[in-house]
Structure formats: structure tokens, C-alpha cells
Amino acid sequence: MKPSPSLLSPDNHALVLIDFEGQMGFATKSIALSELRTNTAIIAGASKIFNVPTVVTTVTEQTFSGPVFPEIEEFYPHETSGYIDRTSMNTWEDEAAYNAIVAKGKKKLVMAGLWTSVCIVFPALSALEEGYTVYVITDACGDVSTEAHERSIQRMVQAGVIPITSIQYLLELQRDWSRQESYVAVTNLIKKYGGSYGIGIHYAHNMLKH
């Protein structure tokens, strides 16, 4: 009856959201930007619902990469969330970002961001070397080409990174629909950002009223 220790729970990991910024999104070709934005909203919303320790980091926000996606701002407003801006492409090599992640005290790290081949591969491999278990939400990452994204995922998996997806992340945190304290927030998030799955829940909720 005990769940696998490899499953994510709200209190056993930290989420690191990396470089979800306009300039990075403009060149992303491996996934439609509209899909990337909704997947980003799902994972940011999930982490907020379940109070997951979360670090939002940007790269040269003011001078090049621009503001974060509105879907990040919705759940982690700039003025209250303390985004960590970097010049280093590798989040793990930035002292402030590294210290913020380590300070969360979690040995499991979940990462997502742009681009997969640089801003995700670099910190993911670096964290593995320091003994962290690293998960990457692959459909909340993107790159300049499908080839770049897929080879990067392949490289990380070969090194020991665990790939997951955005809806999987959300449902792994919920785990049981009888958990009423998060049920409404989770289903509302899915209805808003979950595409056809969200429409299905919207339909079911309305039909069950009759």
C-alpha cells in the first residue's frame, strides 16, 4: 500500500523554473508557443496549489531576454516572488540561484524552462553530479528545433534525469481525488489550461448537476 519513493509529492522536491522569457520563446520551434504557455501555467499553478518550494530564475531580464511569461506572473508575481536574474547560462553556476535552490533543502529537483539544450541540460547535469535526483518536465521545455530538444532530453535521460510531463506533474501531486483540500483548485486549473482534458472535466462537472 505504500507509494514508490520515486513519486513526487508536494513536500519532497523543489521546482526550478528557468528562463520562461519572451526572447527565449521567440526562437522556440520544438513546441508550439501556445502549448508551451499552457503547460507552463499547469506546472506553475500546480506548484502554487501544493505550496511546492519554487525558484524562478531569469537570464539578463532587463537587457535582453525580457519579462517572464504571463503564466508565470499569474502564480508568481514579479514584485513578490524575488526572481533571480543571471548572466550565466547555467543556473547552477550562478551563486544566488544556486544558493536559493540549495536552501530549499530538497534532494529532488524538478526543472523546466527554455532552452532545453542549454538552460535545462546544464543545471540538470550539474545537480546530478552533486547527488540530486533530477526530473525534467519535457513538455514545459522547448528549443530552437525539435532535434535540439530531443537530443537534449536523450542526453539527460542517459545521464540519469527522469522525464515527466506537465499534467503528470499536477496529477502526481494530487494523487487522490478524495483530497478535497486541493480538488477544486486542481480541477479549476485543468479546466482553464488542460486543453481537451479540461473540457472533459468541465463537461462532467456540468452534466453531474442534472
Report the pLDDT value the prediction gives residue 90, as an integer from 0 to 100.
97
* Residue 104 resides in a domain: yes
Which pLDDT tens digit goes with each residue over 121-134? 999 999 999 999 99
Sign of CA dihedral 162, 169, 29, 16: negative
Report the side by side order of strands in the sheet with 84-86.
84-86, 54-59, 14-18, 108-113, 133-137, 162-164
The boundaries of the domain holding residue 152 are 14-174
Cα–Cα distance measured from residue 130 to residue 91, given in angstroms and rounded to the nearest whole number: 14
Report the pLDDT value the prediction gives residue 186, as an integer from 0 to 100.
97
* Residue 9 resides in a domain: no
Cα–Cα distance measured from residue 46 to residue 53, given in angstroms and rounded to the nearest whole number: 11
Cell numbers for 77, please give them. Answer: 508575481
Report the pLDDT value the prediction gives residue 150, as an integer from 0 to 100.
98
Q: Which residue has the cell 483530497?
A: 179
Count of C-beta atoms within a 10 Å radius of residue 163: 15
Q: Which residues of the chain have pLDDT under 70?
A: 210
Work out how many domains the chain is built from and give that number.
1
Report the pLDDT value the prediction gives residue 60, as an integer from 0 to 100.
85
Report the pLDDT value the prediction gives residue 189, as an integer from 0 to 100.
98
Cα–Cα distance measured from residue 127 to residue 81, given in angstroms and rounded to the nearest whole number: 23
Cα–Cα distance measured from residue 60 to residue 17, given in angstroms and rounded to the nearest whole number: 15
What is the reported pTM? 0.95
Residue 19's domain is classified under what CATH number? 3.40.50.850
The residues carrying an active-site annotation are 119
CB crowding 43-60: b at 16 or more within 10 Å, else e: bbbbbbbbebbbbbbbbe
* Residue 185 resides in a domain: no
Cα–Cα distance measured from residue 67 to residue 62, given in angstroms and rounded to the nearest whole number: 8
* Residue 87 resides in a domain: yes
* Residue 46 resides in a domain: yes
* Residue 68 resides in a domain: yes
Amino acid identity of residue 130, one-letter, is: E
* Residue 5 resides in a domain: no
Report the pLDDT value the prediction gives residue 205, as an integer from 0 to 100.
85
